[in-house]
Each structure stands twice: as structure tokens, then as C-alpha cells.
Structure 1
Amino acid sequence: MDQLVFYFALMLLASIPWIEASFAVPIAILTGANPVISFIVGMFGNIVTLLLAVVFASQIKEWLNKRKRTKSTKRVTNTFEKYGLVGAALLGPILLGSHIVAIIAISMNIPKRQTFIYVSLGTALWAIVLSVLVQFGIDLFGLENMRLLDGA
């Protein structure tokens, strides 16, 4: 039961923009959780909210257009113009969050399906890279028995 609550909390944490699976999964690994299960649960949480952002991107775009453009949205727009969707999907999840990248991509008339696929892959890539680095750090420094939370 404790593991079920832990993984549900991980799914919720990964669904929060800017935390996402890219950071939630490595945090779970630091607690001693199973890396594969953490990745699957974290990506599920992230993808559910990413899908919502993609589906409602038009409404979100209208709301954002009423607001002043920030430095971060200008940065993402410049990244899109310079590197295209693939570049933004690879850089965006770690710099701004997958949800923002997806909304901006759709506002730039990139198809929703293509946006969802590339941004999901970019998020998964960062979750894997950061998880491997965390695991490597745990092994390198001999912290295998370290658990930030008991019972994970």
C-alpha cells in the first residue's frame, strides 16, 4: 500500500509543469524507488497533462495572447525559429517545461500529433539522462544504501 501511495504521488509530481518526469523520476530514484517503474509512472503523469495541454492549446493560446510576452516565451519562440520542433522538443523540457513548448509549438501551427510525439520523446530523453546521472552519482559516491524516504 505504501508503494502505491508513493507511485501515485510520483505520478502527480510528474504531472506538474516545470517539475515533470524529467525531475520527478530522478527524485524517485534518489529515494530508492525502482528506476523502471518510476520512469513509467512519471512519464504517464507527465504525458496525461501534456496531452491536456495539446488538446486545449488553442484556448490556452488565446489566453496567453491577452498577456504580455515574457522572456521565456520569446526564448522558446527563438528556439523554434532557429532549431525547429525537434530542437525545441529536445531543449524545451529541461529549460521551460514540456507543456509550454507544446503550447508554443501549436501556436506556431505545428500539428498537434507531431508536437505531442516530439515533446513526449524529448521529455522521456531528459528523464532517462537525468535518471542515469543520478544513478551514476549514487554508484560513484557509494550511496547505494541512502534513502531519502523509507519504504519506497
Structure 2
Amino acid sequence: MFEYFLVFLGAAIPWLEIALVIPLGIVSGLSPVWVMILAFVGNLLTVLFLIIAFQKVKAWLESRKKKDGKGDSKRTERGKRVWNKYGMPGLALLGPIVIGTHIAAFIGLLFGASKVNTTIWMTISIAIWTLVFGIATAMGFDFFVKNA
């Protein structure tokens, strides 16, 4: 039981994440299904926390900008629309293997992705990579154990 808690906790920590925790959990003999579920939930919860916290800071900064009377230019608004339409899916899907899910979410929000868009794409990405890491590890581990 404690080992499964460590899987959950490891997936929640930004530098460990699902790419390391899932293979380690499965290779150590834990149930692949439970490792994948707990790693997904652990990683997603901390990413959601990051998204919520970022939005509060962003709202505070925007309220200060409005008090100063400065708004975004038309060019900035158009850039944000393009980023929200195409940028977040690519960042979210590559993030877990390139820079990590937490950093990918932070960068997306920093570049202007909406909270909803970031949440949707990060959830999809974490789910896909959880399945990829889990299935590949379980199948590969089974292959080596059966053929040893």
C-alpha cells in the first residue's frame, strides 16, 4: 500500500513525473493498472493546482493593468488567439517527454493560454502519456520476463 502512495507522490513531484514513476512502479512489481491510475491522478492534481494558482496571480496583474488604463494591443490579442488555437496542444503533448507537465502548463499559461484550454490539453496529454508509458513498460517487462 505504501508503494502505491509513493507512486502517487512521485508523479505529483515536478521533476519525477509520470515518465519515471510509471516504469519504476511497474518494474518493481506493482499492478500496472493501479500504477497508471495513481500516477495519472497525482500528476494531474498538481498540474491543476498550478493552473489555479497561476490564474489568481494573473487576475491580480490584469486588475493592476486596468487601473493603469493600459490594455492589450490588437496585435497582442491576435497573437493570443493564435497561441490558444494551435500552441497549447503541441506544448501539452510534447511537454511530458521534453520539459515536464508542470513546466508545460506554466509556459502555456505564461504565453496566454486560457485556464480551460490548458486544463483540457494537459489532461489529454497526461492521459495519453500515462497509457504510453504504462503499456510500453508492462508489455516490455512481460516480454523480458517470459523470454528470460
**Normalised TM-score (structure 1):** 0.71
* 1:85 equivalent in alignment to 2:82: no
Matched-pair contact (CA < 8 Å) for 2:92–2:125: yes
User: Secondary structure at 1:17's aligned position in 2?
Assistant: coil
Q: Is the 8 A contact 1:138 1:144 kept in 2?
A: no
Instruction: Give the alignment of 1:105-144 within 5 angstroms.
Output: 105-142=108-145
Question: Structure 2 counterpart of 1:115, which letter?
Answer: T
Q: Gaps (5+ residues) in structure 2?
A: 59-82
- Residue 31 of structure 1: CA displacement? 1.1
Query: Pick from 91, 101, 111: which aligns with 1:98?
Result: 101
Say if 2:32 is the partner of 1:35.
Answer: yes
Q: What are the Cα deviations for residues 85-135 of structure 1, in whole angstroms up to 9, with x where unaligned?
A: 111111011111111111111111111111012112112211211222212
Counterpart check, 1:11 vs 2:8: yes
Deviations 1:20-71 (A, max 9, x none): 12321221111111111111111111111101110112549xxxxxxxxxxx
The question of whether the paired residues in 1 share the 8 Å contact of 2:44 and 2:126 is answered with no
Larger fraction in helix: 2
- AA paired with 1:37? W
Q: Tell me, which stretches of 5 or more residues in structure 1 are unaligned?
A: 61-79, 146-152
Contact (CA 8 Å) 2:23, 2:134: kept in 1 or not?
yes
4+ residue runs of structure 1 moved beyond 3 angstroms?
A: none
Query: Does the Cα contact within 8 Å between 1:25 and 1:39 map onto a contact in 2?
Result: yes
Shift of 1:143: 5.6
Q: Distance in 1 between matches of 2:89 and 2:144?
A: 35
Cα shift at 1:137: 1.6
Q: How many residues get paired?
A: 123
Task: Name the counterpart of 1:45.
Answer: 42
1:56 match: secondary structure: helix
CA distance in 2, matches of 1:26, 1:57: 30
Q: CA deviation at 1:144?
A: 8.9
TM-score by length of 2: 0.73
